[in-house]
A and B are shown apart, each in its own frame.
Chain A
Amino acid sequence: MEKEIRDLFATILQITPDEINDDSTPKTVKTWDSLNHLNLIVAFEEEFSIDIEPEEIKGMMESFKKFKSIILQKTG
C-alpha cells in the first residue's frame, strides 16, 4: 500500500518515487504547491475511493509522512 501511495504521489507531482521520503515537504519538493496539493487530494480520493474532509486538506501538506498517514487511516 505504501508503494502505491508513493507512486501515485510521484505521478501527480511529476517526479520519481525515489525523490520522496517521509520528510518530504512542499519546501523540498518543488512541484508540491497548493494547486498540485489539490490535484493530489482529487487523485487519491478517486484512486482509493475515499473522502477527504476540508479540515484534513491543509494538514496533509505538512509532510509526506502526514499525507500518507491520513490515506492509510482512510484505506485501512
Chain B
Amino acid sequence: MKIDHIGFVVKKIESAIERFTNVYGFAVQREAIYDTSQHVMLAMLVSPNSYRVELIQPVDKESPSYDFMEKGGGLHHFCYCVSDIESSIIGMKRKGHLLIKRPVEAPLLDNRRVAFLFSKNDKQIIEIVESREE
C-alpha cells in the first residue's frame, strides 16, 4: 500500500509548524484546521522530497490522541491509501486489525473518507484513506 502521510502528535500546532518549516525544511500544504469529528487541530506539511506529515494537536480530552499528547506526543500513525475503503477494512480485519473508527470524511484530506484500525501485532494505530476518484 502507498503511504499517504505520517501522523505526528504535537502540543502546539503553530509552534510545530514553525519548527518543521524552519528547521526541517517542510512546506505548509494545508493550513491548520479544526476537525470536529476527532477534536483535533490538523495541518499538512510536505518535505522537499514529497513526504507528507500531518500535524495533530488534540484540543480536549474527547480527542482519541489526547493522552498520547500528554505522554509527549510524536509519531502516531501511518496512513495508507486504499482504493476501496470498505473492502480494505474487511481485509485488514482478517489480517489482525481491530476497526476502531468507521469511515468518515476527513476535511484535511479533501473530504476523502478515512478509517482507523489497530494492528494487533504491532500495537500501532493505522489510518487508511480512500484514493481520489480518477
Contacts and interface: CB of A to CB of B under 8 A. Distances in A.
Given A39-B123, A42-B118, A42-B120, A34 B67 contact: yes
A20 B83 CA distance: 44
A57 B100 CA distance: 7
Given A33-B71, A54-B100, 11 more contacts: A26-B67, A34-B68, A35-B123, A38-B98, A38-B125, A39-B123, A41-B98, A41-B118, A42-B120, A54-B99, A54-B101
A45 interface: yes
Interface string B90-114: 0000000011111000000000000
A33 B67 contact: yes
CB-based closest 5 A-B pairs: A38-B118, A33-B67, A34-B67, A42-B120, A54-B99
Nearest to B97: A42
Interface of A: 26, 33-35, 38-39, 41-42, 45, 54-55, 57-58
A35 B68 contact: yes
B74 interface: no
22 contacts: A26-B67, A33-B67, A34-B64, A34-B65, A34-B66, A34-B67, A34-B68, A38-B98, A38-B100, A38-B118, A38-B123, A38-B125, A39-B123, A41-B98, A41-B118, A42-B98, A42-B118, A45-B98, A54-B100, A54-B101, A54-B102, A55-B102
A35 B100 CA distance: 11
B37 to A, nearest CB: 12
